[in-house]
């Protein structure tokens, strides 16, 4: 997938619209609690400024659903971005309209303008042509540096490309490079770790990866469905009863394709879903009727870590247990440590997996942390992402 990046276009003296993903967590007072997504775009923004572009930034925040909801204003982001860039970031009171057009047209080379929340307009998510053309009218070139929304055909992501040429930013380029290589030409052994609550959320990914990986590791709530599919009693554990047959089919597919499918052999069970629940480690044949599995056990964690030792490519998406509760975070932490210690090219996606890495202080030891949860999953499923497909080919 050879797409043009901003290195392939002349930006000097041009007004450039850049779509970013500044959907960052904030507290009730409107303070940004984690600015990772903002910092991730700095290389692209600095390149544009050093090359004399006038930079117009568009993003969404939260789910205002086409309404101007004050709590979803991007004003605090303009302030934080000004600090990170060491220069004033002008803030537009809207993202389209005569005031915004005037602000964009008077923007000088080396200046930055952040637009108000794109999703204040329902036309953004509907990929409305008129809205797309209004956004395009602000600039001469579009850059997509928002991998996290590229699985959505939205106006600022896909629609705008019908009116002005569009290329990838450095963050997008990195995502395409790492994930693309993992899917099409991975260094082997290739190990994928898939966790999270439900099999149904990740069927497509598991199915696609079974034709690509050497080893597939399953953890989290979804592992309970595989445990039940093997005939074990799972007590009050979260399972998807309507997905038992599918779990068996996936186990059979692993056998026929020669993929090592690693499933838990022991689990940490609890008497209730709570941080202070009574808990103990048991084998799969000893899950009690009124208890629930909330983490993989230590023997399983050790087995998973051993499989990662020889890996040359690792993709990880989803926690191994209810890692928000310390008592049930040990499986996820053990996997995080094993991925970080591995000499493999490691790619981690999904908010919970990234949060676990940050909690353990291991994020720096990962080759690539993907900024897109849903987008990285769809990429790994082999789906075409509209935001990437719309970019100019090399």
Catalytic residues: 37, 198, 351, 374
Residues in the chain: 394
Q: 13, 43, 351, 32: which is closest to 168 by C-alpha?
A: 43
Longest alpha-carbon distance in the chain: 70
CA distance 5 to 393: 9
CA distances from 84 to 43, 77, 91, 123, 206 (A): 11, 10, 15, 31, 39
CA distance 112 to 82: 9
**β-pair partners for 270:** 279, 292
Q: 48, 44, 26, 32: which is closest to 83 by C-alpha?
A: 32
Q: Are strands 313-317 and 345-349 parallel, antiparallel or unpaired?
A: parallel
Q: 255, 263, 273: which is closest to 328 by C-alpha?
A: 273
Please tell me what DSSP assigns to residue 393: B
CA distance 1 to 10: 22
Q: Is 16 exposed, middle or buried (0-12, 13-18, 19+ CB in 10 A)?
A: buried
**Could you please report the per-residue DSSP string of 32-66?**
BS--HHHHTTHHHHHHHHHTT-EEEEE---S--TT
């Amino acid at each position: 997938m050879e797409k043009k990046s901003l290195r392939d276009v002349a930006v000097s003296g041009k007004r450039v619209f850049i779509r970013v993903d500044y959907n960052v967590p904030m507290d009730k007072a409107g303070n940004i609690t984690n600015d990772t997504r903002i910092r991730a775009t700095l290389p692209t923004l600095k390149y544009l400024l050093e090359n004399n572009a006038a930079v117009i930034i568009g993003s969404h925040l939260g789910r205002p659903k086409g309404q101007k909801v004050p709590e979803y204003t991007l004003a605090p982001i303009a302030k934080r971005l000004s600090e990170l860039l060491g220069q004033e970031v002008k803030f537009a009171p809207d993202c389209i309209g005569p005031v915004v057009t005037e602000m964009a047209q008077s923007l000088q080379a080396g200046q930055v303008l952040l637009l108000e929340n794109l999703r204040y307009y329902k036309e953004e998510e509907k990929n409305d042509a008129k809205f797309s053309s209004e956004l395009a009218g602000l600039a001469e070139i579009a850059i997509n540096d928002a991998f996290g929304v590229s699985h959505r055909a939205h106006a600022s992501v896909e629609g705008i490309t019908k009116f002005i040429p569009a290329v990838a930013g450095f963050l997008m380029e990195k995502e395409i490079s790492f994930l693309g290589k993992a899917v099409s030409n991975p260094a082997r052994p290739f190990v994928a770790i898939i966790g999270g609550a439900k099999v149904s959320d990740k069927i497509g990914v598991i199915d696609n990866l079974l034709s690509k990986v050497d080893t597939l590791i399953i953890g989290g709530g979804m592992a309970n469905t595989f445990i039940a599919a093997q005939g074990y009693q799972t007590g009050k554990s979260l399972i998807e009863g309507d997905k038992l047959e599918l779990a068996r089919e996936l186990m059979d597919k692993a056998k026929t394709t020669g993929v090592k499918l690693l499933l838990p052999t022991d689990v940490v069970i609890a008497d209730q879903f709570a941080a202070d629940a009574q808990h103990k480690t048991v084998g799969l044949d000893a899950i009690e009727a009124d208890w629930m599995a909330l983490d993989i056990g230590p023997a399983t964690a050790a087995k998973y870590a051993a499989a990662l030792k020889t890996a040359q490519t690792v993709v990880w998406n989803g926690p191994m247990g209810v890692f928000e509760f310390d008592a049930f975070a040990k499986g996820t932490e053990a996997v995080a440590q094993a991925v970080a210690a591995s000499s493999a090219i490691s790619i981690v996606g999904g908010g919970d997996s990234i949060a676990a890495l940050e909690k353990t202080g291991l994020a720096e030891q990962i080759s690539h942390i993907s900024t897109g949860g849903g987008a990285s999953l769809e990429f790994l499923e082999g789906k075409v992402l509209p935001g990437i497909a719309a970019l100019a080919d090399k």
